[in-house]
Structure 1
Amino acid sequence: AGGGRECVLCAVGSYAGYVGAVECSLCPNISTTTFGTGTNSSSGCVCELGHEGNGGADPSGCLPCAEGFFKDKAQIGNCTACPRLTTSPIGSDALNDCTCVSNALLVEGECACEEG
């Protein structure tokens, strides 16, 4: 009977380029993913944790967050600056990655300048 192909949703990190596509394509840029299954165009590809940019719609893709910044959500957009007197390694994906700079001390849960 039928003989048609069964529709299957594209996996996370891939998309169907057009209605009726037989195969899914991987998100085109480095460090991009999708919010979930069933994405239907490259514009649905967003930056992974720890990366910023315009996702699949932008040929430059996504770049790691700079030192002193982090991004804890997979989405299009910029990284967030670490709080005052803290820094983080390149590509940080959580606020917890922000630690006191070398000349600051942790005092009651916050970084403070050394006296003197």
Structure 2
Amino acid sequence: MTFKESLTFRHACKVFDESKSISEADFNDILEAARLSPSSFGLQHWKLLVVENPELRSKLRAVCWNQAQITTASKLVIVLARINELMPNSEYILKTTAKGDKTKEQHEAYLARYKGFF
């Protein structure tokens, strides 16, 4: 399967074969791809939480509509969104948007554009 074909393949796996496991190298590549993925305004407003503890995964399954994939997948990644930190005047936005060699005026214009977008 080509990369483009894999992007257009739409199939949700509801139960995984527990005798199989993704390799650490492949899993690390996936995490790195997620870490490097761009987002709107370059904010990368997410954190990835890898849950490996079987007991914790069982507890999570109970509050995730008892979805089998929570406990049958060899790896479980939870994506946490920094929703509160996306407010236009939050410390995260002010700090993140100040990166680079923008002048004060350019930074203020960028923040104004962001606020309008938000």
Structure holding more strand per residue: 1
Q: TM-score when scaled to structure 2?
A: 0.26
Q: TM-score when scaled to structure 1?
A: 0.27
Q: Which has the larger radius of gyration?
A: 1
The one of the two structures with greater contact order (alpha-carbon pairs below 8 A, sep at least 6) is: 2
Structure holding more helix per residue: 2
